[in-house]
Structure 1
Amino acid sequence: MVAQEYALAGAAGLAGLVLADTSPDLSMYLREGWRIRLRLPGEVRAVLDRHEEAGTTDSPEYAAAYQIYLNRFTCKLRPVPEAILRGQAGGNPEISRVMWGGGGRSFQVDGRLRGWSVLSRLGGIGVPTLVITGSDDMASPAIAATMAAAIPDARLVVVEGGSHTPFYEDPQGFCGSVSDFLTELDAAAV
């Protein structure tokens, strides 16, 4: 999100952009979150639905069901890489609550980011751009394809089998794609 805003602000000296596992529009992101949620087992969806309707998303049962969602669409690796755990432990829940909202889950945004979108302005990104995502990412291939189509000089890479952390799940595929893109940028600059 920050990179998109930065590029659209006309960042001096920006030669290229990598947009990984992101969305240009939170409404689109939420719709995709609901859509991929349908890929969960029915009993898991039922637990999520029941607690969301009752307002009990702080319950252990909801947390366990939500963890199944995260395991499939956020990071598939077990154990979860240490760097991710450190990032989660070092996060500031108050900032997250203010920015994303009180629910703290991927199915709603009622904080300050509610309504955020740069979708209609993506055509203003004037540098070569790599849009890359995992095939099972919450920021789905459909979102990534929309972004790549809207940015004039963009290419799309979908890392098969990757979730929101394809750089861990397929480091060769992800890093190879980024490396190829950066090598092409360097060659074009000469």
Structure 2
Amino acid sequence: MAEGIAPFHVPGLAESARTWYKIIGDLHSKSTPLIVLHGGPGACHDYLLPLTDLSVPLIFYDQIGNGKSTHLAERNGDEDFWSVELFKDELNNLLKYLGLDSRPIDVYGHSWGGMLAAEWAVTQSSSNLRRLIISNSLASMDTWRIGITSLRKQLPEDVQVVLDEAEKSQKFESPEYAAAIEVFYKRHLSLARPYPAPEVKAALNWFEADGTTYGTMYGPSELSITGSLRNWTIIPELHKIKVPTLLINAVNDEAQDVTMQPFADNIKNSKWVKLNNAAHFSHVDQREEYIQHIQDFLE
């Protein structure tokens, strides 16, 4: 295992940002390395460490704004700065720094990481992409809303009232709101018990420690989408993805079928796996089965 820092020049910043990364396995082996794009934005790599069960070289990294990479809390709310382009540039910078921009690589993205993976996969920078994995993700925010709204309507009525009142008042800090969101999370974020599993807690802790990227790009919670990604879609570009692609979601996932379907419809060389008894953190809820599907696909 090796850890390091990739300097990342960002226009408008006085000093270069720093992208922290961790390599597990041998990048010089014959196996194709897998680049892991975490969700959030801002959840950091920690919650995806179950992927170390895979028998391939892995590159984890914390995206700028969180974790062990450069934090920029002073840019909170700056939608022009926290753009999809910024994170695509960061990925390209890291690949170049590690010498992985001109050899075959596989890319895995979970949730927001799947959005980023798809965005990157439709660009010319992805010419060395061998395999793509889009896990528990969304093809557009409109289709995501359809799924989320359907799940929300299935919550207990008193929970829905709390959520509605918070959105009307724009007050999301109350204990009542936190409790209401936890009801949703226990149904659709992770089914692992006791809740929260360590991986879930790791992701939620990063949001609490620095909510700059999540708050600016997504919103105050999974059920209130007010950030810069509110109108995002990759659907018109998906036909450009030609590599074999594995799609994963779960029955209880907040990434419902309606938001995964456009990937299957528009990526011709794709395979879709749907897990039972699992939610958004399928890699935690059904770890062994989840890992096996990915291992089989990569081989």
TM-score between both structures, scaled by the size of structure 2: 0.57
Q: In the aligned structure 2, how far is the partner of 1:19 from the partner of 1:76?
A: 20
Counterpart of 2:278 in structure 1 is 162
Q: Which of 213, 232, 237 is the matching residue for 1:95?
A: 213
Identity of aligned residues (%): 25
Counterpart of 1:188 in structure 2 is none
Question: In the alignment, residue 40 of structure 1 is paired with which amino acid?
Answer: L
Matches within 5 A, 1:77-92: 77-79=192-194, 80-91=196-207, 92=210
2:148–2:223 contact (8 Å) kept in structure 1: yes
Counterpart of 1:140 in structure 2 is 256
- Structure with the bigger RCO (C-alpha within 8 Å, sep 6+) is 1
Counterpart of 1:123 in structure 2 is 239
Question: In the alignment, residue 7 of structure 1 is paired with which amino acid?
Answer: A
Give 1:30 shift.
1.9
- Which 4+ stretches in 1 moved above 4 angstroms? none
Counterpart of 2:119 in structure 1 is 5
Question: In the alignment, residue 66 of structure 1 is paired with which amino acid?
Answer: I
Q: In the aligned structure 2, how far is the partner of 1:108 from the partner of 1:121?
A: 26
Q: In the aligned structure 2, how far is the partner of 1:111 from the partner of 1:54?
A: 17
1:145–1:156 contact (8 Å) kept in structure 2: no
Unaligned runs of 5+ in 1: 184-190
Question: In the alignment, residue 49 of structure 1 is paired with which amino acid?
Answer: D
Give 1:98 shift.
1.6
Check if 1:16 corresponds to 2:131.
yes
Tell me the SS of whatever aligns to 2:274. Answer: strand
Tell me the SS of whatever aligns to 1:16. Answer: strand
Check if 1:178 corresponds to 2:259.
no
Question: In the alignment, residue 215 of structure 2 is paired with which amino acid?
Answer: R
Give 1:49 shift.
1.9
Counterpart of 2:230 in structure 1 is 114
Give 1:96 shift.
1.6
Q: In the aligned structure 2, how far is the partner of 1:81 from the partner of 1:62?
A: 21
Which structure: greater strand fraction? 2
State how many pairs are aligned.
181
1:20–1:133 contact (8 Å) kept in structure 2: yes
1:30–1:106 contact (8 Å) kept in structure 2: no
Counterpart of 2:172 in structure 1 is 57
Question: In the alignment, residue 120 of structure 2 is paired with which amino acid?
Answer: Y
Question: In the alignment, residue 154 of structure 2 is paired with which amino acid?
Answer: R
Instruction: Tell me the C-alpha RMSD between the 2 structures.
Output: 1.6
